[in-house]
Amino acid sequence: MNRGKGWLPCGGHWLLVAGGLLLRFSVCAQEYPKLTHVISYEELQKKSIQRKVEWVNPDQTQEELIFTEMAVPIDEAMKKKTRQFVHEVYGLDSIYLNPRLIVFHAMGDGNLKTSLEVSSFLHNQIPESWGTLSKAGNLPNGAHFIIDRDGKIFCLSPPSSYEKENHRWLIKRHQDGNPVAIGIENVTPKENYTNLTAGQIESNAKLARWLISFEQQKIKFISSHHQFNDEAGYDRFLNFFVLKNFRKQYRTRQRLDIGNKNITTLLKKINQRGIVVRSFFDQ
């Protein structure tokens, strides 16, 4: 999810070796501090539940998907902050999504636990020390789903119900969180955003197929977060979905995320089942 800065400066350790000589060796890539004000990773795991969803694709193939619901708690204060964020950034009043596209992301933070702990996903806001990112609204980062290296899917922000006709998704801020995108994160090695395993590719595609069915084919587009970097493309996105961004000066423009090659692969695996979606920025 690339928060826009590198690893913290290295610390140093002194080592006493034979002859009383002091050697200094540095331990680089010091971890970010844990941001777990809302819930710890261990607590989140404890309340996880398994979900199974089934659907029929337009080509009549039947599929089922099992994922783990690991819902990050949302209290009234967080709902209020979400309302404020959506209002200040987009001038809208609903805290719920109108899902029209799926945006794929990559964490670049190492394993699942670290990814969730350092990203502010389990926190109450983006730390002020993150500068510009914190100015775009007083919310933590988040995503609706995150997919681990082995392809296991975790839902961090579940829909209000699993009834097709009667459910809502809360808007989650992931850097440039917006009111029309369901966000899917991927666990990737540190500072590497395009390295998805074969299992992750399959799970991203399958989850997208379910989401498109669950949203009754109203999701017509997919994209990788990095495709929002370009200003002209971003304006086209806003126009197409009849959105305005009143805090454009704080939006991020150096995103990496899963990249063009992975988007092409995913698109193929989704379209194969008779589903008509396009890559928004490649039209």
CB nearer Zn ion, residue 153 or residue 275? 153
Q: Smallest gap, in angstroms, from Cβ of residue 95 to Zn ion?
A: 21
Q: Smallest gap, in angstroms, from Cβ of residue 133 to Zn ion?
A: 12
Which one of 139, 211, 257, 258 is in contact with Zn ion (CB under 5 A)? 257
CB nearer Zn ion, residue 169 or residue 275? 169
CB nearer Zn ion, residue 159 or residue 177? 177
- What is the total count of residues that contact Zn ion (CB under 5 A)? 4
Pairing mode of beta strands 21-27, 11-17 = antiparallel
Phi, psi of 264, deg, nearest 5: -60, -45
Q: Smallest gap, in angstroms, from Cβ of residue 107 to Zn ion?
A: 8
Q: Smallest gap, in angstroms, from Cβ of residue 264 to Zn ion?
A: 18
Does 275 sit near Zn ion (CB under 5 A)? no
CB nearer Zn ion, residue 122 or residue 275? 122
Q: Smallest gap, in angstroms, from Cβ of residue 121 to Zn ion?
A: 12
Q: Smallest gap, in angstroms, from Cβ of residue 145 to Zn ion?
A: 13
Q: Smallest gap, in angstroms, from Cβ of residue 174 to Zn ion?
A: 6
Mask for 119-158, x = binds Zn ion (CB under 5 A): ----------------------------------------
CB nearer Zn ion, residue 4 or residue 53? 4
CA 282 to chain CA centroid, Å, is: 21
CB nearer Zn ion, residue 64 or residue 191? 191
Q: Smallest gap, in angstroms, from Cβ of residue 193 to Zn ion?
A: 8
The three-point CA angle 157-112-13 to 5° equals 135
Give the whole-angstrom CA distance, residue 246 versus residue 243.
10
CB nearer Zn ion, residue 144 or residue 225? 225
Does 105 sit near Zn ion (CB under 5 A)? yes
Q: Which stretch binds Zn ion (CB under 5 A): 65-73, 82-90, 147-155, 223-231?
A: 223-231
Which one of 173, 206, 225, 251 is in contact with Zn ion (CB under 5 A)? 225
Does 1 sit near Zn ion (CB under 5 A)? yes
Q: What is the 3-state secondary structure of the chain?
A: CCCCCCCCCCEEEEEEEHHHEEEEEEECCCCCCCCCCCCCHHHHHHCCEEEEEEEECCCCCEEEEEEEECCCCCCHHHHHHHHHHHHHHHCCCCCECCCCEEEECCCCCCCHHHHHHHCCCCCCCCCHHHCHHHHCCCCCCCCCEEECCCCCEEECCCCCCCCCCCCCCECCCCCCCCCCEEEEEECCCCCCCCCCCHHHHHHHHHHHHHHHHHCCCCCCEEEEHHHHCCHHHHHHHHHHCCCCCCCHHHCCCCCCCCHHHHHHHHHHHHHCCCCCCEEHHHC
Interacting residues with Zn ion (CB under 5 A): 1, 105, 225, 257
